Chains A and B, each alone.
Chain A
Amino acid sequence: MSTIAVPIAFQTRLVRTELVKGLRLMWRRRSMVVAATIVYALTYLGISLFIGGGHLVKDLMVRTLPALLAVVVASVAAVEGTAGIAEEINGGTLEQTRLSPASPQLQALGRMTALAIEGLAAAIVLGILFVFAVGLDINPHPAALIPAVLTILDALGYGLIMTALVVRVASIGAITHVGNMAIMAFGGMLAPISVFPHGVEIFARFIPTALGVQSINTTLAGHGLGASWSDGTLPWLLVHTAVVVTAAFSLYVINIRHAQHEGGLSPR
């Protein structure tokens, strides 16, 4: 085996260990994952009835359903990510994770992959449920996978930023709530961001997952990736995702190192 292959294999094993740990923790609280999925379904149903004035407007739901799925992935990543780290700080086990040969970024990668699986599992169930139960006319287009993957990365980046803030900011519960509400309100779950007033639409484009949902909607409407690229949504989505993911990993590493230095990895 080459000298490069050994560290790569070792690092892959470290990430896999974190991933397996995350999945085992998820399995332990599987009843809560199921309950949360049901609550998301009822919330979306309620909001759709709200906006529809007591009726389900299928033409609108076709365009807001991708936003629900993005909200689920982002919320799971943010809430479970922050709660997991807060739990480890309060329990005094976050310090112990630094005994591992895995770097903070590898640990974050493993954790976020587990949360992505949890969020995606809930999102897929909800997507299938609404498409078949309500009879939404969504034509799955393979091209939509590209903005969908970018949206998931964007959502996970947002979740990791929230997770990274836990070790530095005591008010993280409030920040996560506000962030999740902002994604719900401005990310396209209430209404597609294209119907917002111009200034609000520009603001919404900075909110994680909003551009991705818009790009998915354009692609699913049969206009193809070309339309999404030419109207600027897809290029901006690429930039947004790259910036959010890079900022998230950098912030996580900086904050963990800072906390380690200042003694902030255990209860304050």
Chain B
Amino acid sequence: MKTAIALCNEIRKGLRFAWSERLQILIELPMFAVFIILLGPLLGQGGNIASGRVDWSLNSQTTSAMIVWFVPFIFFYMQVVKMFWRLLGEIQAGTLEQVYLSPLPPWLVAAAGRVAAAFLETLFVAAASYGIVSVFVRIQLHWSAAALLPAFAIMIAAVGLSLIIAGATLVYKRIEIVNDGVLMMVMIFSASALPLIQVPNWWAVASHAFPLTDGVGSLYNVMIAHRSVTSAWGIGGLVPLFTVSTAYLLAGIGTFILGERVAKNRGTLGRY
């Protein structure tokens, strides 16, 4: 009971933070839609661009696949980036040590406070991006409850990655550029799950190690390719999907605990 109350309090605190950051969300909102609209006609057009000929029309199929690719990425962005900045703010202000007054483990305090807020923020930004992009081109998605399964796995993986970044933040503090870069790589490598471009073999193999690839692949299978979500193997298969997500969550918890231990030993948990 005490644990449930503490958990609810953290979630409520996270939602309050999210509300106080509503202007940030509004500022970031157009970024994703603009990126989809701009990147769509450029994908795979390197040769044409070099010779100065680009067809700037948007293809419905490509854009639909890009929506399936970008929406989970928005959740990653909301979870990872905002958790990093909040944690850094608490370290700099010296209030992080107060999490040890909670009956919850510190990694759970850090993660639980963000995940519900990130979910709601993603719903808002994804809906707005969908609306903006659909003004320019028809988006064809097959809405199905089965998509909730990869969505859940994606959330687990995002929490795991955010805890890895948080653990590194406890030790190295100002890692904002690395944080942004890691997210960019997660986004780029996850594209190999979609038939947008032909990727080299090494890229396809390496992409499985990234936390978003199989989640995007599974969403694509359900929402565009009309395939079953329960197939075990291949890109988006249940086995790689949940193996990778669980591995990221465990690695995240481990990294956070390790980072916390290092910071405690150095006496830098709440101060530089």
> What residues make up the interface of A, taking CB atoms closer than 8 Å to B?
29, 31-32, 35-36, 39-40, 42-43, 46-55, 57, 59-60, 63, 75-76, 79-80, 83, 86-87, 90-91, 170-171, 173-175, 177-178, 180-182, 185-186, 190-192, 194-195, 197, 267
Contact = CB atoms under 8 A, between A and B. Distances in A.
Contacts of A60: 46-47, 49-50
Interface of B: 20-21, 23-25, 27-28, 30-31, 34-35, 38-39, 42-47, 49-52, 54, 56, 81, 85, 89, 92-93, 172-178, 180-182, 184-185, 188-189, 191, 197-200, 203, 272
B182 A39 contact: yes
Contacts of A75: 177, 180
Nearest to B191: A50
A173 B177 contact: no
B253 to A, nearest CB: 22
A51 B184 contact: no
B197 A50 contact: yes
A53 B44 contact: yes
A31 B188 contact: no
A54 B199 contact: yes
A39 to B, nearest CB: 3
User: Secondary structure at chain B's binding surface: helix, strand, loop or mixed?
Assistant: helix
B92 A181 contact: no
Contact of A195 (B23, B54, B181, B272): B54
A50 B188 contact: yes
Nearest to B192: A54
Contacts of A267: 93
Nearest to A192: B49
A47 B39 CA distance: 10
A5 to B, nearest CB: 38
Contacts of A76: 177
A32 B173 CA distance: 10
